[in-house]
Amino acid sequence: MTTETPALIDRIGQHMINAMTFDLGRYLIAAGAISLLLWLASKWTEARRIQNRKASFEDYKREFLSSMRTVVIFALTTISTVLFVESGWVTILEGDINWAVFSVQVIAMIVAHDAYFYWMHRGLHHKSLFRMAHLHHHKSRTPTPWAAYSFATFEAASEAAFVPAYLLLVSAISAPVYGFAIFIFLAHMILRNVIGHAGVEIFPAGWTKGIFGWITTTTHHDLHHSQGSSNFGLYFTWWDRMMGTEHPQYQERFDAVAQPIRISVSAAANASIAAFSILIVINAVTIA
Ligand SMILES: [Zn+2]
Ligand SMILES: [Zn+2]
């Protein structure tokens, strides 16, 4: 053990705490915020519930506890990224942001992650991997927002591998990304993740046939949980459509549950209270 070893252990320990705080924070804020909003707008929520079955207390417990394990695995992966930065293998842009370049970076990262997720997810459904790697996530037949991180260890590591792999690749071809672009990518990822597991169709009627119909809805991923062998995509419908894996009744199931945009005074008041509460929580977390 050299004299530098304790300093390195200290540094890694600090990185681990920072990474766990960030990953735990974004999970709790995103899943908590959407749960609170859906609970406060209960009439709105019940009209849009996708399944008749309701998640049990055991479902919530399993989803939450295994998400805590995922937070640890995500933090370990974040440390690998930090070590790649320290060793010069990964470059992250700091300083003044060129917003046009920033936008391209965020979109490129989201599109690349969508492709990565589709193929990784199909791989996890292969019979040689499913039981060991992905069965745990599918124990949530009626998912809740808390299922967002409910993964077996192997799946959590596979999910987390995208960010360091992507950053290594773009750094190798001299196209590094802004730190803030990574932050927005991660915020978008958790938001879409909890929406996909919300169990309630939050997109308005007509969405799947509209100009943004290629953006996946809650019904899209909910059908994957209730039926399993279709809708492997994450953010977009492209890969499922190209590979013939979209659920044959996706449109009909969406139409059966989605409602037109109609906001009542009480729902608007509840949403305002919830948004205000969320702002207070975010402020408290940021200050802490
Ligand atoms: Zn799956
Ligand atoms: Zn899922």
In the reported structure, the alpha carbon of residue 146 is separated from the centroid of ligand 1 by a whole-number distance in angstroms of: 16
269, pLDDT greater than 90: no
User: What is the residue range of 205's domain?
Assistant: 15-287
The three-state secondary structure class of 279 is helix
Q: Is residue 8 part of a domain?
A: no
**CA nearest neighbour of 200 among 144, 244, 253:** 144
Model confidence band, residue 229 (pLDDT cutoffs 50, 70, 90): confident
pLDDT at 145 > cutoff 60: yes
Is 219 contained in some domain?
Answer: yes
> The tokens 């506890």 sit on which residue?
65
Give the distance (Å) from ligand 2 centre to CA of residue 274. Answer: 25
CA-based nearest residue to 31, from 280, 278, 283 = 278
CA 161 to ligand 2 centroid distance, Å: 18
Residue 221 in any domain: the answer is yes
Question: Is 3 a member of any domain?
Answer: no
Question: What's the 243 CA to ligand 1 centre distance in angstroms?
Answer: 16
DSSP 141-193: SS--GGGGG---HHHHHHHHTHHHHHHHHHHHTT--EEHHHHHHHHHHHHHHH
Residue 1 resides in a domain:
no
Contacts of residue 192, defined as CB under 8 A and 6 or more positions apart, other chains included, come to 216, 234, 235
Q: Exposed, middle or buried: residue 224 (CB in 10 Å: 0-12, 13-18, 19+)? A: buried
The bound ligand whose nearest atom lies closest to the alpha carbon of 195 is 2
| Residue 199 CA to ligand 2 centre (angstroms) | 11
Span 169-209, pLDDT tens digits: 999 999 999 999 999 999 999 999 999 999 999 999 999 99
Q: What is the pLDDT of residues 14-24, one digit of tens each?
A: 777 888 888 89
- Give domain status of residue 208, yes or no: yes
Q: How far does residue 265's CA lie from ligand 2's centre (Å)?
A: 33
Which range (6-15, 40-49, 139-148, 225-234) has the least confidence? 6-15
Q: Identify the nearest ligand to the CA of 231 by its number.
A: 1
Ligand 2 mean position, distance from CA 210 (Å): 24
Which residues, 6+ apart, have CB-to-CB distance to 193 below 8 Å? 30, 148, 149, 234
Rounded to the nearest whole angstrom, what is the distance from the C-alpha of residue 193 to the centroid of ligand 1?
13
Give, in order, the Cα–Cα distances in Å from 92 to each of 26, 63, 168, 178, 180. 21, 33, 10, 6, 9
- Distance from C-alpha of 231 to C-alpha of 240, rounded to nearest angstrom: 6
144, part of any domain: yes
Output the CA 125–ligand 1 centroid distance in Å.
6
Q: How many C-beta atoms lie closer than 10 Å to residue 162's C-beta? A: 18
Please give the pLDDT value at position 1.
53
Which amino acid, 113? H
> Within the chain, what is the greatest distance between any pair of CA atoms?
66
C-alpha dihedral (117, 118, 119, 125), degrees to nearest 10? 100
- Work out how many domains the chain is built from and give that number: 1
Query: Per-residue pLDDT tens for 37-84?
Result: 999 988 889 989 999 999 999 999 999 999 999 999 998 888 888 889
What's the CA gap between 274 and 264, in Å, rounded? 15
- Contact call for residues 79 and 90 (beta carbons, < 8 A): no
Q: Is residue 7 part of a domain?
A: no
